[in-house]
């Protein structure tokens, strides 16, 4: 049983994996609703070490350290699932020519047990089998999951 499944048994809120693109947008103040109390009451967030590393290297974390602290405090850190990543390699090879980044395989390996994957990179969703996770843009996620809770 992976960590996401164990946590799900204790907390009925959907588990939402945040891709680097979404975390960086939050750090830049573009989707401030992401960690609002009403959102946190509705869903749980997760990232993995790849997302954390990409965020630390690619975002201006010094400008708003409190936002980075919010991500660290409120997003569960899931492990990279190396066996699952290996199983995704054949599909990844097909998608690589169309823009799939190698880190996307490692990100998806962690997100696969989550209910949702929120990302700007729709290519990463093509790694899945169509079941879990449901891949959404931030706006779609807000509309589907959070808009009713935030109104």
Q: How confident is the model at residue 84 (pLDDT cuts 50, 70, 90)?
A: low
User: 35: domain range?
Assistant: 3-150
How far apart CA 60 and CA 109 sit, in angstroms, is 26
Burial of 62 (0-12, 13-18, 19+ CB in 10 A): exposed
Burial of 123 (0-12, 13-18, 19+ CB in 10 A): middle
Average pLDDT for residues 67-77, to the nearest whole number? 93
pLDDT of residue 82 exceeding 70, the answer is: no
Q: How many of the other CB atoms lie within 10 Å of CB of 141? A: 24
Here the CATH number for the domain that contains residue 74 is 3.40.50.1010
Give residue 58's pLDDT. Answer: 76
On average, the pLDDT of the chain sits at: 80
Model confidence pLDDT, tens digit, residues 88-108: 555 544 545 445 566 777 888
Which DSSP category does 130 fall into? S
* CA dihedral over 103, 107, 112, 117, signed as positive or negative: negative
Give residue 139's pLDDT. Answer: 95
Model confidence pLDDT, tens digit, residues 96-144: 544 556 677 788 888 888 999 999 987 767 666 767 899 999 999 999 8
Q: Provide the number of structural domains found in the chain.
A: 1
Helix ranges, 20-100 (H): 20-27, 37-42, 49-58, 65-74, 82-96
């Amino acid at each position: 049983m992976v960590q996401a499944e164990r946590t799900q048994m204790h907390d009925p809120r959907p588990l939402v994996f945040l891709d680097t693109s979404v975390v960086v947008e939050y750090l830049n103040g573009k989707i401030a609703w992401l960690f609002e109390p009403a959102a946190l009451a509705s869903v749980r967030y997760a990232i993995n070490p790849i997302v954390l590393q990409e965020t630390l290297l690619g975002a201006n974390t010094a400008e708003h350290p409190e936002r980075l602290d919010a991500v660290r405090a409120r997003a569960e850190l899931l492990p990279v699932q190396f066996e699952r990543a290996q199983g995704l390699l054949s599909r990844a090879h097909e998608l690589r020519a169309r823009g799939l980044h190698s880190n996307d395989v490692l990100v998806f390996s962690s997100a696969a047990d989550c209910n949702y994957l929120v990302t700007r990179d729709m290519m990463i969703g093509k790694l899945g089998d169509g079941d879990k996770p449901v891949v959404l843009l931030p706006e779609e996620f807000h509309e589907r999951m959070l808009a009713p809770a935030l109104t």
